[in-house]
Amino acid sequence: MTKRKQQAFGVVGVIVNGKGEVLLTKRHEPRNPDVHHKWQLPGGGIEFGENTEETIIRELIEEIGCRVKIIKLIPYIGTAIFHRPKTDTQVTLIGYVVKIISGKPRPTHYETAEVKWIKPEKIDLTECLKLTQEFLVAGKLLKR
């Protein structure tokens, strides 16, 4: 049996508070142990007809309950492949540095188990989803 191959496109938001901490969310996806309880930058998939700016604004309202303002596009396009028993999915992401303009970050979506602020240099990248480090480096928040 041949595995199905698919592509997904999404966005992530890099949010930094006044203390220089980055907001991470913990993914809740028990059916997929390779991503379940991994830390990630908040964001999600682009819906049909949306542009990437609309997506990041919608996704952060959905995931963390905050309205954001886009500050800048991060000059990096990331791609990673996730292997599942029946499907291989290639995910392509772009990122934005964004600023919270209203709301306090909290889990507001079933895929978000928790949120935390953390200094970039204290992030345990072994506990993060693929591409987290690359977006933090491209956003100049972390050195390789």
Model confidence over 19-32: pLDDT tens digits? Answer: 999 999 999 999 98
* Average of per-residue pLDDT across 10-14: 98
Q: How many structural domains compose the chain?
A: 1
In a domain, 126, yes or no: yes
Extract the tokens encoding 129.
Answer: 């989803």
Contact 54, 39 (CB under 8 A): no
- Give residue-wise pLDDT tens across range 104-137: 999 999 999 999 999 999 999 999 999 999 999 9
In a domain, 143, yes or no: no
Residues found in the chain: 144
- Give residue-wise pLDDT tens across range 33-75: 889 999 999 999 999 999 999 999 999 999 999 999 999 999 9
> What's 107's DSSP letter?
-
> What's 27's DSSP letter?
E
Whether the predicted model's global pTM rises above the 0.85 cut: yes
Q: Which domain holds residue 123?
A: 4-138
